[in-house]
Amino acid sequence: MARKFNRPPNWPVPPQGWKPPRGWEPDPAWGPPPSGWVLYTRAPMPAWGWWLIALGVVLLLVLWSAVEKALGLAPLTCESAIDEVVAMTAGQPASGQVLDITDASFLEDRQDELDDGVFTVAAGRETDEVLVCRGAGEWGDGSYGAIEFGYTADAAGNLFTYVAPVG
């Protein structure tokens, strides 16, 4: 933060914009500053400085969001699961290919357990649901119907995307 010269009231007024150069000493004839007087104060930040800080914070948040997504640290969502289901089924025959899922909603969310390291897989199962979503699925063969999808995890915490028609 910039320092601002704070002229004591018993010293002469300096020229407009004057700043004491490094090593500057006041003229002894001016007398000492009043007791407790602070010769240098912190200069207030200009308005553009606050805008620059705000812009920096926004850029950091955008950058963190991109890093989080790239490293797989972002929270799991039904929307991210939709993208993965569509990509995962793209090479399937038309009857198994999901083109889109709409009206998605959460049924179950156990991400906190996974994040906290307390996620368990039910006995007799290789994986268990971490995030369960349901929506209206559009299949590659032109059919529509209720669809359940989301993420499962194994006991080691490895994530898998799943999809299944409902009914």
Shared-domain flag, residues 58 and 101: no
The predicted-structure confidence for 100-150, as pLDDT tens digits, reads as follows: 999 999 999 998 898 888 989 999 999 999 999 999 999 999 999 999 999
132/160 same-domain check: yes
What is the number of structural domains in the chain?
Answer: 2
Same domain, 53 and 88: no
Average of per-residue pLDDT across 87-103: 93
Within the chain, strands assigned E span 3-5, 40-42, 98-109, 127-139, 144-154, 159-165
pLDDT digits (tens, 9 = 90+) for 15-69: 988 888 888 889 999 999 999 999 888 877 788 888 888 888 999 988 877 776 6
pLDDT of residue 162: 94
Q: Which of 52, 70, 88 marks a domain boundary?
A: 70
36 and 87 assigned to the same domain? no
**Domain stops at, among 46, 70, 94:** 70
Instruction: Please say if the pLDDT value at position 73 is more than 80.
Output: no
- The verdict on 122 and 82 lying in the same domain is yes
**pLDDT given for residue 108 in this prediction:** 93
Nearest CA to 151 out of 48, 42, 78 is that of 78
**48 shares its domain with 25:** yes
Residues of the domain holding 21: 3-70
Domain-ending residue, one of 70, 99, 125 = 70
